Amino acid sequence: MRIGTALLNGQPAVVAAASDDMAAAVHAFDSMETLLAAPRETANAIVEEATASAPRFAVAELTWLPPVPRPGKVLCVALNNSANPDRIISGPPTPALFTKPTTSLTGHDTPLRLRASYGRVHPEPELAVVIGIGGSDIPHDRALRHVYGYTVFNDLTSPTLRAEDTFHYRAIHPSDSEPDGVRYVESWVTYPARYKGSDTFGPTGPWIVTADEVADPHALRIVCRHNGQIITDDNTANLRFSVAEVIAFVSSYMTLETGDVIAMGTALRRANSGGGAVQNLDLVARGGTVEVEIEGLGVLRNHVEHR
C-alpha cells in the first residue's frame, strides 16, 4: 500500500494510491498520525477498502504534503554510504545523526523555495524510514517491526551555510591536574540548523510504501535526476549501517515515536553517463527540477522557485 497526505478541499487528508495514476481518500483516519497509531491489520483493511471503492483522485493533480506532515522528529544518518570510508580520516564506528526541523519538510511536487543568501544548495537522495510503533532500547532483531514503511527523501544541504556555521575555537575541557580547573582544546564544531534545516530543505514522499511491500530495504536502486539527467545512480545495498542497526542504535539514546522519520544517508554513486556529483549541482544557481526515485517506492519530484 502507498499511503500519503494530500490536501482535499484545502485540508490535509489521508490518501492511498490505488495505482500509479489514481488515489483514494481514506476518510476513516483524520491524519496520518492516527493511522500510524491504529492497529496495523485494522488500518490495512480500512485502507484496502478505501482504495477499492472510494472516489478517485489523479495522483498528478493532488497537492501532496509530507506523508507525516508534522513528525516528532526527523533524524538523518550522516556519511552512511559504503563509499564514505575512503573519505573518512577519523569518525565514529557507529551511526552519526542530526535532526532536521519539521518546518523544513515539504511534499512531492512542491517548490524548493531557495534564496541567493543560502549560497550553494545541492540535493542528497535518500531512503527514509517511517516509524510505526515507537520505543526505546529496541533490540536489533526486533527493529524492523517498528518500521511502518519507507518513503523517498531529499536531504537538501547548503555547503555554504555549513562552512559559515563552522567554528574553529578553543573548547573548554576540565583540567587534567586541578579538579576545578579548565584547559582550552582547539576544536572544530559545525551547527546544522541552517544548512540542513532551512524551509523546504526536506522534500519527502510522495507517499509511504508499507513495509510488507518492501522485501529488502537494502536492495533498492536509488536515482537522482536534475532536469531529466541522471546525477546519482546507486543502490541501498551500499548503506553502511542498515535500517535495523540504526533503529537499535538511536533508540538507545532517543525514544522513537510513531511517525518519526529516519533518513538513512546519501546515495553517492555517480551515474556512468557523467554529469558530476550531487555536490556539482547548485540548485540556487541552476534552478530546475530535481527528482529522487527509489525502486518500488516512487518518484519524489520538486522544482526550484527563487524566493
Which helix (H) or strand (E) is 24 found in, with range? strand 22-25
Strand partners, 44: none
Amino acid at 37: A
Asked if 224 contacts 278 with a C-beta cutoff of 8 angstroms, the reply is yes
Binding-residue total with a second copy (CB under 8 A)? 69
Looking at 15-23, 35-43, 47-55, 253-261, which segment touches a second copy (CB under 8 A)? 253-261
- Exactly one of 145, 194, 218, 240 binds a second copy (CB under 8 A); that residue is 194
CB contact set of 193 (below 8 Å; sequence gap of 6+) = 101, 165
Strand partners, 122: 157
- Exactly one of 41, 61, 176, 180 binds a second copy (CB under 8 A); that residue is 180
Looking at 21-29, 40-48, 202-210, 269-277, which segment touches a second copy (CB under 8 A)? 269-277
- Exactly one of 37, 38, 133, 277 binds a second copy (CB under 8 A); that residue is 277
C-alpha 139/C-alpha 152 separation (Å) is: 25
Site for a second copy in 44-73 (CB under 8 A): 70, 72-73
C-alpha 66/C-alpha 5 separation (Å) is: 7
Min separation Cβ 198 and a second copy, Å: 4
- Exactly one of 45, 52, 60, 96 binds a second copy (CB under 8 A); that residue is 96
Contact call for residue 91 and a second copy (CB under 8 A)? yes
C-alpha 58/C-alpha 240 separation (Å) is: 38
C-alpha 187/C-alpha 171 separation (Å) is: 6
Residue 289: exposure state from Cβ atoms within 10 A (0-12, 13-18, ≥19): middle
C-alpha 205/C-alpha 106 separation (Å) is: 9
Min separation Cβ 120 and a second copy, Å: 8
Site for a second copy in 212-251 (CB under 8 A): 250
Site for a second copy in 1-20 (CB under 8 A): none
- Exactly one of 11, 168, 215, 272 binds a second copy (CB under 8 A); that residue is 168
Residue with cell 484545502: 10
Contact call for residue 92 and a second copy (CB under 8 A)? yes
Residue 25 or 261: the one with the smaller Cβ distance to a second copy is 261
C-alpha 12/C-alpha 8 separation (Å) is: 6
β-strand pairing of 289-294 with 298-306:
antiparallel
Residue 142 or 173: the one with the smaller Cβ distance to a second copy is 173
Residue 129: exposure state from Cβ atoms within 10 A (0-12, 13-18, ≥19): buried
Min separation Cβ 17 and a second copy, Å: 28
C-alpha 179/C-alpha 165 separation (Å) is: 32
Residue 210 or 266: the one with the smaller Cβ distance to a second copy is 266
Site for a second copy in 138-167 (CB under 8 A): 159, 162, 164-167
- Which DSSP category does 44 fall into? H
- Exactly one of 29, 64, 98, 150 binds a second copy (CB under 8 A); that residue is 98
Contact call for residue 272 and a second copy (CB under 8 A)? no
Q: Which chain residues interact with a second copy by CB under 8 A?
A: 70, 72-73, 75, 78-79, 84, 87-92, 94, 96-104, 117-118, 136, 159, 162, 164-175, 179-182, 184, 186, 188-194, 197-199, 250, 252-255, 257, 274-277, 279-280, 282
